[in-house]
Amino acid sequence: MPDRDDSAYLVGTIENAVSSGEPIAILGHGSKPRLVESDDIAFLCTSDHTGIIDYRPDELVITARSGTSLEEIQEVVHAQGQMLPSDPPMFNRKGTVGGAIASGLSGPGRPWYGSTRDSLLGVEVVNGKGQRLNFGGKVIKNVAGFDIARLYAGSKGTLGLILSATFKLLPVSEHEITVELERSDVDAFHLLESYSRRSSTLAGSCHSEQTLYLRFAGATSAVQQDFSTLNGASVCSSFSWSELRDQNLSFFGDSSPLWRVSLDRGNLYQNIDELSVLSEWNGSLVWVKTPTESPPPVSTDVGRVEPFRHLGVQPKSSLKYASRLKQAFDPLGIFEPEVVV
Amino acid sequence: MTNSIALQLLGSELPSRAILTDRSEVKPFETDGLTAHRQTPWVVVLPESVAQVRTVLHICNECRVPVVTRGAGTGLSGGARPNSDGVLLVLTKMREILDIDLASCTATVEPGVTNLAISDAVRQHGLFYAPDPSSQIACSIGGNVAENAGGVHCLKYGLTLHNVMGLKVQTIEGDELVLGGKSYDSSGYDYMALMVGSEGMLGVVTEVTVKLLPIPSNRSVLLGAFDDIERAGDCVAGIISSGLVPAGLEMMDKLAIKAAEEFANVGYPTGAEAILLCEIDGGEADVKQHTSQVERLMKSFGALDIDVAIDPAECERLWRGRKSAFPAAGRIAPDYYCMDGTVPRGKIGSVLSAIAAMSEKYQLAVANVFHAGDGNLHPLILYDAAEEKQQQRAEEFGAEILECCILAGGTITGEHGVGIEKIDQMCSQFSDEELEQFHQLRKVFDPSGLMNPGKAIPTLARCSEIGGMHVHRGKLPHPELERF
């Protein structure tokens, strides 16, 4: 995809919206579930605002325009033996830098490599007054001012448009293997728990229907050592972590309502073991399919349930601070008015 | 007038031992680690429970009395300097470890628990809390959250913000925000990102849940001596781009080496222009492999001498010099002023040259220690406060270093916070619109501006008074005007 600076158009459109009061919704590749389904809103599309602005492999830092595809970023940094640590989902192989930030989603390595928010160092945004603002920067340690850059992670386009962003990168591990084990829910839980209290090269877990897949990544000798101490494991070449990340596994293939459940790791599978589930992130992220639109029965002291796909209404925050936050960045309600997350 | 009502209310709601008003009692609280700036607080309150914190906030909100929250007072930017007509809310009595959850590998603690006490409490389980600011024996976790504290191991393990899973925050309006928890990444605005590093301006942290990590089974420390500081800087870039992630990567210049060696006597090469300290940790196999890789790299970048420690006592010896750099600087000069800027790693060499030139200009020596892996510089400006105008010169020197960091594409503070120390440089780093957005954000949580007023975010009026001109991306505001 050619590099193109579309910022004049994007900022101009927002300035017009500020004058006219006509709200807009920000769209990248449209790869992720939308916040609100409405026909009355004009879309402002970032997908022509593309290109890597600055990439310095020896700084482990990359800056790109928000419409740049995640696929391009991954290709460019992989060529230098580096990766975007949070490995954000690319549903249908689509997805932009801006969309990854706005959705705040992270891939299967999240507990080990951090979230999209964690690796975000800085953003240039346009707020709801049409002002171009820079927060954060291009360095890892930076505590000047409130951390507004990271506030944009997971803000779902309600606080403004992201023009560009800077991420910290990580080197790709020297060696990586995936192993497969037959394990019940309880046995999988105990095995994963044992890893959390010792040094290992574990860097991914996926459990569904009695099969546990583990990813080990690190120095070759260390990966081999971890594999050799694991009973009953066999190296598996057919499992793809990017297919898990992008929800292309058969588990995600039907149109049942899909829920995202964040669990305290100590509560793996409590109350939901009779439903169709797939867990990752060391057991702390569980995808649950339900036969109806009723949420899975998970009590609030055990974890949090959020609707993800094939579900009509998204929840709105009732917190007064959420409304005020929206007001502070978008006083006229230019970006998805009435919506706070 | 309202202050006297507030004091009456505080007295009636809190135990008398929680309130200090005598000058002799409040005097020890007049400064944090930035000791050059002092202010006697009007009243000091030491709550013992969340309920008492809420009571104090309620009374202060009703009576419109400013609140400055602090922990152990080890901060280096004056963020906890008291207000002359406000309450200083000191959380050091709230120091209970509430829960250690081995299943989720988290610890939940009160804000006054010291950083090191967390690691001490979980060591028996083979776990530790990673961020380790050099004040970790004394500094409290609440303060770490307020400042987004770093340390020598941030390169691999991240800052406070990467290691905090959950927070309970009390707002001045009387709400308790329960943010995050023991699980990852729930949807909704990331209030936790805002609270971490907010320097006590958005709320009072009353409970912190931190991530615990397994103690690496093996560790090594390499010390490389270089006869050229630029070459040491190139070696840092070489290590980073080789695909290694060291647990720590530190650099010291000649004066810092000399001071540390005289103080700690650990066998540092005092003839070297610079040393690099590189720590590798992990399992036995990867530590072995990565250590020899770093050794080869140091050689290829021209290290004259390389000391490799694998034995824990030897590792400790090599670190001891670096860790005593600050007190060591205190021995070679009556006073020192510790700066804290960050620049892209590739700019370390040129920024060091600029600092050397400033050292000539201001006629003050400077010892450089820094977290080279993070590009985080800590120049220690040496001076004598008893000598006329030396303190002022030291502060001007420090301010010029910060401006230099901004020009190099970095930031005015990597881990010490803005506080009062760097508030004027905020006018250089941010535009008026950006500062205004900070103020708008602040009002979300503190509409009356009672929480730590006058810190961290300058008013636009202040910026225009100091006459700093914001040069944004090389573009001057109103370029059509002639300037002289």
CA distances (Å), origin B10, targets B43, B48, B446: 10, 14, 21
Q: Name, in order, each residue with C-beta under 8 angstroms of B207's C-beta and a sequence gap of 6 or more.
A: B50, B98, B108, B109, B110, B111, B166, B167, B168
Shortest distance, CA A236 to any CA of chain B (angstroms)? 23
What pLDDT digit, counting tens, does each position of B51-79 carry? 999 999 999 999 999 999 999 999 999 99
pLDDT at A314 over 80: no
Shortest distance, CA A224 to any CA of chain B (angstroms)? 9
**What are the chain A neighbours of B438 within 8 Å (beta carbons)?**
145-146, 148
Q: Under a CB-based contact definition with an 8 Å cutoff, are residues B143 and B121 in contact?
A: no
What pLDDT digit, counting tens, does each position of A177-208 carry? 999 999 988 889 889 988 988 889 999 999 99
Least confident window among A230-244, A262-276, B175-189, B448-462: A262-276
Cβ–Cβ of A304/B186 closer than 8 Å? Answer: yes
H/E element holding A182? strand A175-182
What pLDDT digit, counting tens, does each position of B288-304 carry? 999 999 999 999 999 99
Tell me which of B230 and A19 has the higher pLDDT: A19
In this predicted structure, what is the pLDDT of residue A137? 95
CATH number of B333-407: 3.30.70
CA distance B206 to B217: 33
Q: Does A297 touch chain B (CB under 8 A)?
A: no
- DSSP-derived pairing of the beta strands B87-90 and B43-45: parallel
What pLDDT digit, counting tens, does each position of B248-282 carry? 999 999 999 999 999 999 999 999 999 999 999 99
Q: Does A282 touch chain B (CB under 8 A)?
A: no
Least confident window among A131-145, A289-303, B7-21, B247-261: A289-303
CATH number of B2-90: 3.30.43.10
What pLDDT digit, counting tens, does each position of B120-144 carry? 999 999 999 999 998 999 999 999 9
What pLDDT digit, counting tens, does each position of B358-380 carry? 999 999 999 999 899 999 999 99
Q: Half-sphere exposure of residue B327, counting CA atoms within 13 Å on the CB side?
A: 10
Domain ranges of chain B: 2-90, 97-214, 218-326, 333-407
207-226 of A, contacting B, C-beta below 8 A: 218-222, 224-226
The architecture (CATH level 2) of A7-171+317-329 comes to 2-Layer Sandwich (3.30)
> B467 pLDDT band (50/70/90 cuts)?
low
CA distance A307 to A35: 11
| Helices and strands of chain A, counted as H and E runs | 10, 17
Shortest distance, CA A81 to any CA of chain B (angstroms)? 7
Q: Does A15 touch chain B (CB under 8 A)?
A: no
**What are the chain A neighbours of B423 within 8 Å (beta carbons)?**
none
In this predicted structure, what is the pLDDT of residue A2? 79
Which residue's entry shows tokens 């309130």?
Answer: B19
Fold of B218-326: Alpha-Beta Plaits (3.30.70)
Cβ–Cβ of B188/A117 closer than 8 Å? Answer: no
Least confident window among A27-36, A281-290, B1-10, B294-303: A27-36
Domain ranges of chain A: 7-171+317-329, 175-254+256-309
**What are the chain A neighbours of B457 within 8 Å (beta carbons)?**
145-146
Coil, strand or helix: which one is A267? helix
Coil, strand or helix: which one is A49? coil
> B286 pLDDT band (50/70/90 cuts)?
confident
Q: Does B191 touch chain A (CB under 8 A)?
A: yes
Least confident window among A72-76, A285-289, B311-315, B465-469: B465-469
> Which residue from B276, B201, B195 is spatially nearest to B237, judged by alpha carbons?
B276
In this predicted structure, what is the pLDDT of residue B476? 43
CA distances (Å), origin A256, targets A204, A287, A292, B187: 26, 12, 8, 21
Find which of A59, A141, A321 to mutate to test the B interface (most B CBs within 10 Å of its CB). Answer: A141
CB-CB neighbours of B406 under 10 Å: 19
Cβ–Cβ of B442/A146 closer than 8 Å? Answer: yes
43-72 of A, contacting B, C-beta below 8 A: 56-61
Would you state the structure tokens that stand for residue A64, as one six-digit string? 């790109």
CA distance A187 to A230: 13
Coil, strand or helix: which one is A82? strand
> B469 pLDDT band (50/70/90 cuts)?
very low
373-392 of B, contacting A, C-beta below 8 A: 374-376
CA B137 to chain centre: 14
Cβ–Cβ of B193/A151 closer than 8 Å? Answer: yes
pLDDT at A301 over 80: no
B97-214 classified as CATH 3.30.465.10: yes
What pLDDT digit, counting tens, does each position of B317-334 carry? 999 999 888 889 889 999
